[in-house]
Amino acid sequence: MAGPVEVGAFAAGRIAEVVSAKPEAVLGVATGSSPLETYRALAARRDAGLDLTRVSAFALDEYVGIAHDHPESYHAVVHREVVEPLGLDASRVRVPDGLADDLDAACEDYEAQIAAAGGVDLQLLGIGANGHIGFNEPTSSLSSRTRVKTLAPRTREDNARFFDSPDDVPMHCLTQGLGTILDARRALLVAQGASKAAAVAAIVEGPVSSMWPGSVLQLHRHATLVIDEAAASEL
């Protein structure tokens, strides 16, 4: 029975194919628990000789208002869970700046940086139980770009486990938009566990709808979902 380890191994294989063909590939990286097995499997491939030193990476999102060295800021999470284990060149890794004085300008600048890098070759994604990708919560415009969003109550509850108290979970975030994600040349969504089954069923078998933001991947020309048995249980 396929579980999280198999999901991670398969997804890492897809990423390795992209990087082997293009050593200076631009990857979109996701935080959260979903991609951890993928990063673990990719680190093993790196140990076996896959060169990731020329890869660039753009994170999907960041909380607003928490210090970059706060352990749950996505700056810190990306460094700890992606940059270090994969041996990426930190100078080629970007995370939206949730501490900027002008958040709208920071979002525009992030879009410009992605464009200047030549766009994202492969965007790795998890999915929230409410169907969000990045932090594009239900009702997000299907053509949205990087912008400030308010976190849904469900997402703040889901992420409270990472903070000392539920009240410490930030109210706002910066996130690449659904239109930004659609621009990636490939999209690779990983999901594990029964808590994701309803969201997986909705985005795969339901209509394209801003109420289930992940459903926008139905419009992507090269999207792959890698899911385990439990996440597939409502298909």
The residues annotated as belonging to the active site are 61, 130, 132, 137
Min dist. Cβ of residue 50 to ligand GLP (A): 24
Among the candidate windows 18-26, 28-36, 115-123, 213-221, which touches ligand GLP by CB under 6 A?
Answer: 28-36
Q: Which residues contact 44 (CB under 8 A, 6 or more apart)?
A: 12
Structure tokens at 20: 């082997």
Q: What is the DSSP letter of 99?
A: T
Q: Residue 46, Cα to own-chain centre: how many angstroms?
A: 20
Q: Does 228 bind ligand GLP (CB under 6 A)?
A: no
Q: Does 30 bind ligand GLP (CB under 6 A)?
A: yes
Tell me the residue nearest to ligand GLP as measured from the CB.
126
Q: Does 137 bind ligand GLP (CB under 6 A)?
A: no
Kindly tell me which of 126 and 177 has the beta carbon lying closer to ligand GLP.
126
Size of the site for ligand GLP (CB under 6 A): 14
Q: Does 135 bind ligand GLP (CB under 6 A)?
A: yes
End-to-end CA, the chain: 16
Which spans in the chain are helix H? Answer: 4-21, 36-47, 74-78, 84-86, 103-116, 153-159, 178-183, 197-205
Distance CA 168, CA 66 (A): 10
Q: Does 81 bind ligand GLP (CB under 6 A)?
A: no
Min dist. Cβ of residue 39 to ligand GLP (A): 12
Q: Does 32 bind ligand GLP (CB under 6 A)?
A: yes
Q: Which of residues 152-171 bind ligand GLP (CB under 6 A)?
A: 155, 159
Structure tokens at 215: 């459903």
The single residue among 26, 55, 60, 181 that binds ligand GLP, judged by CB under 6 A, is: 60
Distance CA 55, CA 101 (A): 29
Distance CA 86, CA 173 (A): 26
Interface with ligand GLP (CB under 6 A): 30-34, 60-61, 126-128, 134-135, 155, 159
